[in-house]
A and B are shown apart, each in its own frame.
Chain A
Amino acid sequence: MFERFTDRAREVVKQAAHEARAAGRRPIGTEHLLLAVLADPDNLASRVLSAAGVRAADLRAAVARHTAEGDAGLAEADAAALREIGIDLAAIVARIEESFGPDALRAAAPAPRRRWGWRQRQRPGGPFSPRSKKALELSLREALRLRHRHIGTEHILLGMLREGGGPAALVLAEAGLDLDDLRRRVELALRAAA
C-alpha cells in the first residue's frame, strides 16, 4: 500500500515504527504517526500543524502522559476512564500495596497473549494498530478525493484526522484544536502548494 507514498511520507512511516519501538509498544499507533510527522519540521503536515499553534514538544508530552504508566501500571488515561465509572484506581492501588507491598500492582504485568501459530508477520494489521492502519488507508482515500497521484505527509495527517478516534486525534483535540478546522488548513496549504 506504500507504492504511492512520497519519500517524506515513507520516512514518516519508518519514523513511526521507530517511535513505537522506542516506546516499547509493538503496534504502531496513530500517536506514533503523529509524532513521526512532527519529527520532520519541514514537511507540509508539520508546517500546517505549527501554523495552527501546535508545538511538537507539547504533543510529545501529551502522548507520554496518555501512555506513561502510573502506580498501577496503567496509563493516566486509564485512571481517568475508571474515574468516569466511579472507580478510584488510587484506592485500589493503596489496598493492594497494603497487603502485597509497594509496587505490587505495577510489577504484576500480565504476560502477552500467545496464540497457536501466532507470528508477528501474520498479524492482521501488520505492524500497525487497527486505527493507524485505518488512518493510512484513509490517507490514500484522501489523496484520491483530492485527485493527487501521490500520498504525502499531508495526506497522512488528513487520514489521521478523518479516522478521528485514535490517540493522535485525541491529543490534538486536547491541545485545543478543532479537527475540522485543521483539515481545512491542510487543504488550503495543499492548494497553495499546488
Chain B
Amino acid sequence: MSHATELAAAAGSTDPRVGLRAVRALRRLLERLEVVQVDNARRQGWSWQEIADALEVSRQAVHKKHAGRPAVPSTWEE
C-alpha cells in the first residue's frame, strides 16, 4: 500500500479531498483515453463528424481539441 493510499484510507472515504482527488485523476485518465481513441478512429479513416457523433460533442469541439495535435503513430498494428 502506498503512502498516498494509506493517507486516503486514514482520512476516510467521506473526506471530500479523497473523492475530488479521484475525480481529478479520472479526468487525467479520461483525457489520455480520448487521445488514444480519437487517434485510432482517425487512423481508421473516421471523419471528425463521425468521431464527434460517437463522443456526443460538436464537430468543432472535437476538431479544435484534436486536429492540431500530430496523431500518435500506431506502433502496433501497422
Contacts and interface: CB of A to CB of B under 8 A. Distances in A.
On whether the two chains bind one another, the answer is yes
Interface of A: 62, 66, 72-74, 76-85, 87, 89, 92, 96, 99-105, 107-111, 165, 170, 173-174
Interface of B: 2-5, 7-9, 13, 17-19, 21-22, 24-26, 28-29, 31-36, 39-40, 65-66, 68-69, 72, 74-77
Nearest to B18: A84
A97 to B, nearest CB: 9
A80 B2 contact: yes
Contacts of A101: 74-77
Given A72-B32, A84-B22, A100-B76, A108 B39 contact: yes
Contact of A81 (B3, B18, B65): B18
B65 A87 contact: no
B36 A105 contact: yes
B15 to A, nearest CB: 10
B75 A74 contact: no
A145 to B, nearest CB: 26
Contacts of A100: 36, 40, 74, 76
Given A87-B26, A108-B35, 15 more contacts: A72-B29, A74-B29, A74-B32, A76-B2, A78-B25, A81-B4, A82-B29, A85-B26, A99-B76, A104-B36, A108-B36, A110-B32, A110-B34, A165-B17, A173-B7
Contacts of B19: 85
Contacts of B31: 110
B34 to A, nearest CB: 7
Q: Which of A72, A99, A107, A110 has the most CB of B within 10 A?
A: A110
A78 B35 CA distance: 18
A109 B32 contact: yes
A84 B31 CA distance: 20
Contacts of B3: 62, 174
